[in-house]
Structure 1
Amino acid sequence: MMNETDEEVTFLNYEQCPECRTNHRDNAGDNLARYSDGHGYCFSCHYFEKSEEELKTEFKEKTDMITGDYKNLVKRKIDTETCKHFGYQIGNYNNQPVHIAPYYNKEHELIAQHIRFPNKKFIWLGDMDEVGLFGQNKWRDSGKMVVICEGEIDAMSVSKIQGNKWPVVSVPSGSASAKKYIKKSLEWLEKFENVIFLFDNDKAGKKASVECAKLLSPRKAKIGRLPLKDANEMLVKEKTRELVDSIWGASTYTPEGIVAGKDTWDLLIRDDSKYSTPYLWDGLNNKLKGIRTGEIVTLTAGSGTGKSQICREIAFDLIEKGNTIGYVALEEGVTRSVRGLVSIPLNKLIHLPDVRKQVPEKDIKEAWDKIKSKCYFYDHFGSTESGNLLNKIRYLVRGCGCKYIVLDHLSIIISGLEGESERRVIDNTMTNLRSLVEELKFGLILVSHLKRPEGKKGHEEGALTSLSHLRGSHGIAQLSDIVLGCERNQQSDEYKDTMTVRVLKNRYTGETGICTYLHYDKETGRLSEGKFNAQEEIRETYK
């Protein structure tokens, strides 16, 4: 074997492939072949490491992108019109003829080029950290169907036979990294009704298509099977009709199945305990036994009672215990949400300008450092449409690794609706949230408002909370695992800073009733747990 400088390249040894190791394979540690010029190649997953000389050259020239001309790809039977559509050019790099595939970021800015040499060697020019799928910039952000191929040539082959009218894209670097790039583009893909994976007809391609399909909503992903190696071979051999059949005949990926009773023994005895994190207040732990993933905890109270502050306290505590959270606050901007979380470790209400000015910036920075890598926010810009919100939550869990999501609050989604319309939207939203929690196994902390109870006294004056008071629909109570009602008499001089927390529903242990009292400190903005006696009756002030 010769390298580009005509030096003899010899095999040195076998070693463990880092890509296989990440996917819990190559236990023997001998999938990767290492050669004398430093490059390595895995014969199992096709992972490739460049030689030392290639890395030096690429580092020196990686930001110098090149231009070429639009030409027919004669051997590939791809015409100039299709190449123009995708921006795919023929040019020269280091005096060698090359193919130039452009890659764009979410703002449709050209940021990288995938360079293909005649010997099928590839290099990247530019910055590939933010690249999307090849061709993604050419299509609108929704539609009936999008086809995903394993390479740029295959994507253009499929697009050509469809007259370049329907969305076709490809992953940037083949099957080995397909899952990574599908995850990055998940929010865009979820806007299509059907996502067709048309990867190569080999073991690696088939496996990658299944791994990628699992990332999408149930029954959205479909897997096409090709009779030949790939889409371009189908085009070259004039099997276009069969290629179209592979797309329209793609089977829906569905992991669901019928399980016979005789096959359920392992299910019966397996340890299926859910991931759980203790609450920061003992009273809640005594009755609820922690906050679990795969469950919905609904928090409800009268206006101004302190629901948002409870969310901040719980969210910061989850972060301190090593969890990544998504914070979706629909009644406030990201600035207010960040300041609310950072206020917790500071014990200062830094959303108030006068208070913030008195806190040294280094102290604020230290507090911010505690949350910055463990939380994500949704900058909604006033968009609270239910379907869009669900896609954002899916991305926070799948794309960002959030284990818990705080959604404050449900009621704003149905703001302005009344009667049947309000109930229908709440029912649909709760059903979709329930399905999403079950599918992705994250913990959802959901805030919901109350309707005014009958009688003279409202919840703001300390009226008892009840499941029947949840605003708009019984679906909130039915689909939640835990429902917590918070009560505070805001007009009482003696008890206006004391909140009663009541378990209204508890699917996990069945225990309900008052679980704790929380005291609000006006100086620090913090909630602390007071002494709790399980036998204590409701305070006189709440009667």
Structure 2
Amino acid sequence: MGAPEHTRGVDSIMNDNDTSDFVAHEPCPNCGSSDALGRYSDGHGFCFSCQHYEHSEGASAPSTTHKISKMHTFISGEIEDLPKRKLTKETCSKWDYRLGSYNGKPVQIATYKDNEGAIIAQKLRFSNKDFMILGDASNMGLFGQHLWSDGGKMLVVTEGEIDAMSVSQCQQLKWPVVSVPNGAPAAAKTVAKNISYIERFETVVFMFDQDEPGRAAAKQCAALLSPGKAKIATLPLKDPNEMLTASRSAELVKAMWDAKEYRPDGIVGGSDLWDYITEVDVAEAVPYPFEGVNEMTHGLRQGELVTITAGSGIGKSQFCRELCHWLMTQGQTVGYIALEESVRRTTLGIVGIELSKPIHLGKDEVEEAELKDAFERSVGTDRFFTYDHFGSVDSDNLLNRIRYMVRGCGCQWIFLDHLSIVVSGLEGGDERRLIDVTMTKLRSLVEELKIGLILVSHLKTSDGKPFEEGGQISLASLRGSRGIGQLSDIVLGLERNQQDAADKNVTQVRIVKNRWTGETGLCARLEYTHETGRTREIGFPEPILPEDFNN
């Protein structure tokens, strides 16, 4: 072992120890590639294009000296079985995988060949898990590619040479398998470079490592192939060789045949929809505190965006506080973001609802013990969270606060009062465009977090009867953009005539949009009582019939 065979190409080395994880792609200062240099968690870098190596700061050189030379001698070795990997001598012979030595150190030799069988490069693996590439690294291609040069029905692509031989051995060395040469970080670039070869096969199964880099690389590679050609295999263990060494070869072969066809994220085939039909909704609807609203909407649901709208001073915030308080009494956890009022005003409003007293107007008639008890039953529980900020706020910062309320605090429902202030904090000047962008972000956040979002939105100036005098609300009344209505699941309009002597405290609730049932129109009448600071549902007046005029 160790005798030279012939010379060709360059040599390079990369440290591949277990404590170093891939972090990101970077430009290579040696060859100029925009993203071929992989940066690792210990600080070292390695270019998968030109094999340039950078040591981490303060680190000593790897165990084998890095060097680049115009010519280098390939090494020979012996073909033997690999007991720890459960790879037979027959398998190693098929793949020309040898054991040899380099500078007196034992190495495993993976030989990369062209279609005529001439050696292009050798990848040496040292016992300390360093590896070195001898030869023309830029034209290595796929490991084992020369064995199956004519294409065929199916090709399996793995993340490493040992894995490729493991899959091959499990199939009696009869069916095409190849490996990318430099692992998950450079897999997509290798597949792209060898796409004409890979496309010769009718089906291509990516059987990469089952860690996050491996799964991500499999998707990136699959996306490069013609639609319908790529599949991604799922294994119960980390990689194909672990399957082989665990004597689970039959399961590995089954995983190959059971591999799922790759589809870009978000595309679901009809045959996969049965689970969507049969799954039980974990988050059932929570009723509104107003029966008339429930009859048309069938309650509040997580995963929906509900917009509350009304004229100025009609009672949007009061409606939201009543709804927030109600949700907490139903055991729900709420995040309340009121950008138009202080945290103190929000807190007094909700505690006042618990007391049925408008304590925001003064607390003189409430004993401190009574106030403390109401506080602890409402906002003082672990079911209420708010955001201490007044005025306009950057929308991305606000979205992150909402994410924290949901993921960090366990909030199931978020109140955002109101949209116009969120938009006012953005640059750009075009209100319609800014509202569209913000609504799209909020809609996406609802889907991402599976929360119920109750959003307050203003109305534009009416062309007819003013909304403050009971004018009827429609989707066209929403201020700024049709995107508000389009991206909302439910739109509730609150209508009240502030100047009507008899009914100035009575609000009609109109369902303006209802994606759940399609029912729209007036659904409830609510009356605000100043003495209690509460809103209660009252019935619609009986219609006056013609015969009543005869009495």
TM-score interval for Structure 1 and Structure 2 normalised by the shorter chain: 0.5 to 0.7
Q: Distance in 1 between matches of 2:344 and 2:41?
A: 42
Residue 520 (structure 2) aligns with: 512
Residue 461 (structure 2) aligns with: 452
1:523 aligns with 2:531: yes
Residue 439 (structure 1) aligns with: 448
Could you say if the C-alpha distance between residues 337 and 253 of structure 1 is closer, same or farther in structure 2, counting changes exceeding 3 Å?
Answer: farther
TM-superposed CA distance for 1:364, in Å, is 1.3
Please, what is the CA RMSD of the aligned residues? Answer: 3.8
What is the DSSP-based 3-state SS (H/G/I as helix, E as strand, rest coil) of the residue aligned with 2:360?
coil
- Verify the 8 A CA contact 1:515 1:534 in the aligned structure 2: no
Alignment of 1:23-62 (within 5 A): none
Alignment of 1:411-450 (within 5 A): 411-415=420-424, 421-450=430-459
Deviations 1:50-77 (A, max 9, x none): xxxxxxxxxxxxxxxxxxxxxxxxxx99
Residue 321 (structure 1) aligns with: 330
What is the DSSP-based 3-state SS (H/G/I as helix, E as strand, rest coil) of the residue aligned with 1:326?
strand
TM-superposed CA distance for 1:388, in Å, is 1.1
Q: Which amino acid aligns with 2:344?
A: T
Deviations 1:252-279 (A, max 9, x none): 7989364333333333333347521011
Residue 80 (structure 2) aligns with: none
Question: Match for 1:497 among 477, 487, 505?
Answer: 505
Question: Match for 1:297 among 306, 310, 313?
Answer: 306
Alignment of 1:53-452 (within 5 A): 245=185, 250=213, 251=216, 256=265, 258-272=267-281, 274-352=283-361, 355-371=362-378, 372=380, 373-415=382-424, 421-452=430-461
Could you say if the C-alpha distance between residues 416 and 237 of structure 1 is closer, same or farther in structure 2, counting changes exceeding 3 Å?
Answer: closer
Q: Distance in 2 between matches of 1:534 and 1:403?
A: 39
Q: Which amino acid aligns with 1:362?
A: A
Q: Distance in 1 between matches of 2:132 and 2:543?
A: 76
Q: Distance in 1 between matches of 2:218 and 2:528?
A: 51
Structure 2 gap segments, 5+ residues each:
1-16, 20-39, 46-53, 59-125, 134-181, 190-212, 220-263, 546-551
Q: Distance in 1 between matches of 2:401 and 2:56?
A: 31
TM-superposed CA distance for 1:415, in Å, is 2.8
Q: Which amino acid aligns with 1:524?
A: T
Q: Distance in 2 between matches of 1:329 and 1:367?
A: 21
- Verify the 8 A CA contact 1:161 1:240 in the aligned structure 2: no
Q: Distance in 2 between matches of 1:383 and 1:416?
A: 5
TM-superposed CA distance for 1:358, in Å, is 2.4
- Verify the 8 A CA contact 2:509 2:526 in the aligned structure 1: yes
TM-superposed CA distance for 1:289, in Å, is 0.8
TM-superposed CA distance for 1:349, in Å, is 1.6
Structure 1 gap segments, 5+ residues each:
1-75, 79-153, 165-233, 538-543
Q: Distance in 1 between matches of 2:468 and 2:491?
A: 19
Q: Which amino acid aligns with 2:348?
A: R
Residue 260 (structure 2) aligns with: none
Q: Distance in 2 between matches of 1:314 and 1:447?
A: 13
- Verify the 8 A CA contact 1:514 1:534 in the aligned structure 2: no
Q: Distance in 2 between matches of 1:299 and 1:284?
A: 13
Could you say if the C-alpha distance between residues 307 and 256 of structure 1 is closer, same or farther in structure 2, counting changes exceeding 3 Å?
Answer: same
Q: Segments of 4+ in structure 1 off by > 2 A?
A: 154-164, 236-275, 380-383, 414-420, 532-537
TM-superposed CA distance for 1:383, in Å, is 4.8
Q: Distance in 1 between matches of 2:506 and 2:497?
A: 8
Give % identity.
51
Q: Which amino acid aligns with 1:403?
A: Q
Larger radius of gyration: 2
Superposition TM-score, scaled by structure 1 size: 0.52
Q: Distance in 1 between matches of 2:422 and 2:542?
A: 37
What is the DSSP-based 3-state SS (H/G/I as helix, E as strand, rest coil) of the residue aligned with 2:373?
helix
